[in-house]
Amino acid sequence: MYGGNRYFLFSPALFILFQNMKVSVILLMFLLLLFSCKKNNNNNDHDKVILIDSVSVNNAFVSNEGKVNNVDFDKVIVKIKFKSQVNTALFNKNKLFFTGDLDTLYSHKFDKSSTILSVVPLKQLKALTLYRMVLDVGSNLGGIFLEGFSFTFTTRIDTLPKFPVISDDSLLTLVQKQTFRYFWDYAHPVSGLARERFGSGDVVTTGGSGFGLMVILVGIERNFITRQQGFERLRKVANFLINPVTDKFHGTYPHWLNGSSGKVYPFSSKDNGGDLVETAFLMQGLLTVKEYFINGSSDEKAMCDTIQKIWENVDWSWYRRNNQNRLFWHWSPNFDWYMNMPVSGWNEALIVYVLAASSPTHSINKIVYDEGWARNGAYPMKNGKSFYGIQLPLGEDYGGPLFFAHYSFLGLDPRNLYDQYASYWTQNTAHSRINYEYCKSNPKKHFGYGVNCWGLTASDIQYGYSASSPNNDLGVIAPTAALSSFPYTPTESMKVLKFFYYTLGDKLWGDYGFYDAFSLSSLWFADSYISIDQGPIVCMIENYRTGFLWDLFMVNADVRNGLDKLGFTYN
């Protein structure tokens, strides 16, 4: 009983202590468990990887590092869909931003399922502008983005006219007048010749100057300048060209000259002599000038005599290179025939063989034309294939760059010009239409190409210069391509002209007409002008409107003799 008494005496106290300790332990365990669960929950939330299911801009889906074009700048909605629910309360706005001044200036909204985030810019976006949106890596939306997401989008073109709308005829005159200024206001002050390009200083171009001489004639006819003003400038050019200090190589001129000294400016390291093709373009212009002034005043007739001497001094036969039945492009007193480039068809140089046959002093025979230029009809002279349902008589597949249809035909009239190889009106029209159809179909999916924006030819590109064509499509459109094709594609060229002027005019129109080239895909616009691109615009628009230059050049007796010798039919 003693033991029982001891137990009875002490058990209530021990029991109470034991019970208190049990409660404390349970409470402690509960708190530890609660803390542990909370900690685990936080860790799980922090460790959650958030994955993106899809991203769209105005309902156009875009991949990571992808691009969307033609986005409406008036209303932009970006939707990001996540693969699982996100914690919308933990959205870190600074981790989702636009580059540039837009930054985080946007509103956002999550859908009811917390899986779709919609973003709307709060600032008016600019037309034809590239924007980039970035969703950065790291903690956000209650989890972790292990991989970021970024994309670019280009806003659409602002179609509102940038200049007052005028009649089509007035627009053609405006383009001619503004482009004329390149050859009038920006001509070299000493020689009067055309500078190679805007910013080229003393470097003048002989071929581009030939185009420029014809542009000045258009300027006289269109009353941009007076006849006397035009004559004085043209006489300056003729006197500079015939001056003994001006470099000539068997009567031919180099590609580039120093417009002050008349000395050759090498086109490349081995190209420091005569350039037969550039000389032909120059002679085409000079002979057209001669026909315009031939019945004028005594001073004008004296200038025409100077032009005839320049023309007769060109030794076309020398460029047969030891009497071969073909002509060569270059000769240098230092490097002889090192360039080794035959002038052989089909390209821009038909005028070379026509003028070589036309020379009253150093002519070539028809066999040189047939074997050297036409290769007796072998490819790439004759083609005969069809592209977009259009048969192409001559040249490489798809026609090549469009300047093939321009440079020789500023004076040489293709309208009724035939020989055994082709109708040259058919050739040039087919070439131009194929170029148009290619850009219309746009197989490379370049942004902006279409019925209002086409024309591939040689021009500046974003980091250099290239002869663009359907076989060398770099996404660059040159205004000279379609505008110089006006005689061949008048309806299509007028659409382009209106698009260039009214729609893109705030970016493409400058002091000397349209800038050289642009790419809507990369939002690049050249700030350059090049004489061989500006000249054909004025000349070929005028030939489309009146046939003025064609009519002048084609009455030259020497030219007609040359065409007869080569077996051409013409009016």
CATH number at residue 455: 1.50.10.140
| CA–CA dist 17, 21 (Å, integer) | 6
Report the amino acid identity of residue 159: T
Q: How far lies 158's CA from each of 125, 161, 221, 288, 502, in Å?
A: 11, 8, 36, 42, 10
Question: Looking at the structure, do residues 267 and 118 belong to the same domain, yes or no?
Answer: no
Q: What is the DSSP letter of 367?
A: H
In a domain, 43, yes or no: no
Question: Looking at the structure, do residues 218 and 99 belong to the same domain, yes or no?
Answer: no
Q: What is the DSSP letter of 302?
A: H
Q: For the chain, what is the domain count? A: 2
Question: Looking at the structure, do residues 254 and 361 belong to the same domain, yes or no?
Answer: yes
Sign of CA pseudo-dihedral 448, 169, 282, 353: positive
3-state secondary structure of 193: coil
Q: For the chain, first and last CA: distance in Å?
A: 149
Question: Looking at the structure, do residues 102 and 226 belong to the same domain, yes or no?
Answer: no
Question: Looking at the structure, do residues 448 and 479 belong to the same domain, yes or no?
Answer: yes
Q: What is the DSSP letter of 522?
A: T
Question: Looking at the structure, do residues 268 and 394 belong to the same domain, yes or no?
Answer: yes
CATH number at residue 106: 2.60.40.3710
| CA–CA dist 467, 471 (Å, integer) | 10
Condensed to tens digits (0 to 9), the pLDDT of residues 166-212 reads 999 999 999 999 999 999 999 999 999 999 999 999 999 999 999 99
Question: Looking at the structure, do residues 217 and 138 belong to the same domain, yes or no?
Answer: no
Question: Looking at the structure, do residues 190 and 75 belong to the same domain, yes or no?
Answer: no
In a domain, 349, yes or no: yes
Condensed to tens digits (0 to 9), the pLDDT of residues 203-252 reads 999 999 999 999 999 999 999 999 999 999 999 999 999 999 999 999 99
In a domain, 94, yes or no: yes
Question: Looking at the structure, do residues 318 and 261 belong to the same domain, yes or no?
Answer: yes
**Residue range 476-481: mean pLDDT, rounded:** 98
Question: Looking at the structure, do residues 150 and 223 belong to the same domain, yes or no?
Answer: no
In a domain, 275, yes or no: yes
Question: Looking at the structure, do residues 362 and 226 belong to the same domain, yes or no?
Answer: yes
Say if residue 107 is exposed, middle or buried (CB neighbours under 10 Å; 0-12, 13-18, 19+).
exposed
The domain boundary, picked from 100, 131, 155, lies at 155
Question: Looking at the structure, do residues 196 and 145 belong to the same domain, yes or no?
Answer: no
In a domain, 29, yes or no: no
**Residue range 254-277: mean pLDDT, rounded:** 98
Condensed to tens digits (0 to 9), the pLDDT of residues 88-140 reads 999 999 999 999 889 999 999 999 999 999 999 999 999 999 999 999 999 99
Q: At residue 4, does pLDDT exceed 80?
A: no
In a domain, 571, yes or no: no
Residue 180 belongs to domain spanning: 168-566
Asked if residue 151 lies in contact with residue 65, where contact means CB atoms within 8 angstroms, the answer is: yes
Query: Which token pair is 368?
Result: 């040189």
Asked if residue 431 lies in contact with residue 405, where contact means CB atoms within 8 angstroms, the answer is: yes
Q: Find out whether the peptide bond into 346 is cis, omega within 30 degrees of 0.
A: yes
| pLDDT tier at 380, thresholds 50, 70, 90 | confident
> Checking DSSP bridges between strand 149-155 and strand 67-71, what pairing results, if any?
parallel
The domain boundary, picked from 155, 180, 204, lies at 155
